[in-house]
């Protein structure tokens, strides 16, 4: 099958087209002919080897972390899906590789595609929608009336998280550039901080939850807009020991990750708030929870541009160079 892969870490020009054997289909797997996949910042980090210490992939590695497509074969133990089903999924972290014609995915990580979406729209959602769900529903347990700050509301994750927080009944604030203020208001943001002209730390106060996708100084300031008991959840900040335990890493890596996040956790404790790092996990069940919200129009995908499959490397460069105006970039296989 045709793929886009890397043969070594850290080489921006190393993403190349290549042939790989068709996937082996396990007893609990569905084999999917991929129609579309989206580009995520995670793909760039994996390409550069940023996670190789705790995600030791074998090279060559097919990149790509979410997809929409059609089931073409099912394993003998599969009960939820049949040949011909249109699905969307984020494969498990150990089984990525959606920049390809085919992929075998465990049935537990797959859901029927929302009926209202095209393949390209559906492919833009799994990773960011699951991240938003796991942050706001699973970890923060957002309740109606709570105040939630979503950084980067026009981005891939932010655009979905703003809509999900609003669907949960929260009062939603977000940060965005001047050109994207109207978009994030359309997505449901009640308060928009134009980061080009305002410092969100001086405008916002008393928040229950912050979802941070930027890290660094933004994360540090985010701790200061939370009220006591508030939660800062970051996908870009330093990993913590809880994340290391989730991965099942050895004691040394747990100590290292705890040390990396020590300053942030100490700052949080001083303000009587909590900090946690989130690395989303695959879940077909959670996608099935999200699907009714999508089909009802409460969450809609934001797709910036669709590239043909043979331009997958250009699509990644487009994301890396910050050319995305809003939402996600998608690669169409057919």
Q: Are residues 85 and 141 in the same domain?
A: no
Q: Are residues 23 and 133 in the same domain?
A: no
CATH value at residue 273: 3.40.50.720
Q: Are residues 11 and 66 in the same domain?
A: yes
Q: Are residues 114 and 151 in the same domain?
A: no
Question: 271-321, pLDDT tens digit by residue?
Answer: 999 999 999 999 999 999 999 999 999 999 999 999 999 999 999 999 999
Q: Are residues 146 and 237 in the same domain?
A: yes
- The contacts of residue 180 (CB under 8 Å, 6+ apart) are 153, 154, 325, 326
DSSP one-letter string for 169-207: T-EEEEEE-GGGHHHHHHHT-SEEEETTT--HHHH---E
CATH value at residue 104: 3.90.180.10
- pTM comes to 0.96
CA dist 126 and 42 (Å) reads 13
Strands, sheet with 2-6, edge to edge from the N-terminal-most edge strand: 16-19, 2-6, 61-62
The residue written with tokens 């129009």 in the block is: 297
- Which residue, 151, 144, 157, 142, is CA-closest to 173? 151
Q: Is residue 294 part of a domain?
A: no
Alpha helices in the chain (DSSP H): 41-47, 119-123, 126-133, 156-167, 181-187, 200-203, 216-225, 241-247, 251-260, 262-270, 284-295, 312-320
Q: Are residues 151 and 40 in the same domain?
A: no
Supply the pLDDT for residue 248.
75
> What's the domain range around 247?
127-277
Question: 186-235, pLDDT tens digit by residue?
Answer: 999 999 999 999 999 999 999 999 999 999 999 999 999 999 999 999 99
Final residue belonging to a domain, choices 234, 261, 277: 277
Instruction: Say whether pLDDT at 247 is over 80.
Output: no
As for how many domains the chain has, the answer is: 2
Q: Are residues 240 and 310 in the same domain?
A: no
């Amino acid at each position: 099958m045709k793929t886009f892969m890397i043969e070594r870490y850290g080489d921006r020009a190393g993403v190349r087209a290549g042939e790989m054997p068709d996937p082996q289909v396990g007893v609990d797997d569905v084999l999917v002919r991929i129609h579309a996949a989206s580009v995520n910042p995670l793909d760039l980090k994996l390409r550069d080897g940023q996670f190789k210490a705790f995600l030791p992939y074998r090279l060559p590695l097919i990149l790509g972390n979410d997809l929409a497509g059609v089931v073409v074969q099912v394993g003998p133990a599969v009960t939820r899906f049949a040949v011909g089903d249109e699905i969307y999924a984020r494969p498990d972290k150990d089984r990525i590789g959606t920049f390809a014609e085919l992929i075998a995915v465990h049935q537990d990580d797959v859901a029927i595609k929302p009926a209202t979406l095209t393949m390209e729209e559906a492919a833009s959602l799994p990773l960011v929608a699951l991240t938003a769900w796991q942050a706001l529903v699973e970890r923060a347990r957002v309740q109606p009336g709570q105040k939630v700050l979503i950084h980067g509301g026009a981005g891939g994750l932010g655009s979905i998280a703003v809509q999900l927080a609003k669907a949960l009944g929260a009062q939603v604030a977000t940060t965005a550039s001047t050109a994207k203020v109207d978009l994030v208001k359309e997505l449901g943001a009640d308060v928009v901080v134009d980061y080009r002209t305002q410092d969100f730390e001086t405008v916002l106060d008393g928040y229950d939850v912050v979802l941070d996708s930027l890290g660094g100084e933004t994360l540090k300031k985010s701790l200061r807009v939370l009220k006591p008991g508030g939660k800062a959840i970051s996908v870009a900040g330093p990993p913590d020991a809880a994340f290391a335990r989730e991965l099942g890493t050895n004691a040394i890596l747990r100590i290292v990750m705890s040390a990396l996040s020590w300053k942030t956790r100490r700052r949080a404790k001083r303000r009587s708030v909590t900090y946690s790092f989130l690395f989303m996990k695959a879940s077909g069940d959670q996608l099935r929870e999200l699907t009714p919200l999508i089909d009802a129009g409460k969450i809609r995908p934001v797709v910036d541009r669709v590239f043909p499959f043979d331009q997958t490397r250009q699509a990644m460069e487009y994301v890396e160079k910050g050319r995305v105006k809003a939402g996600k970039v998608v690669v169409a296989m057919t």
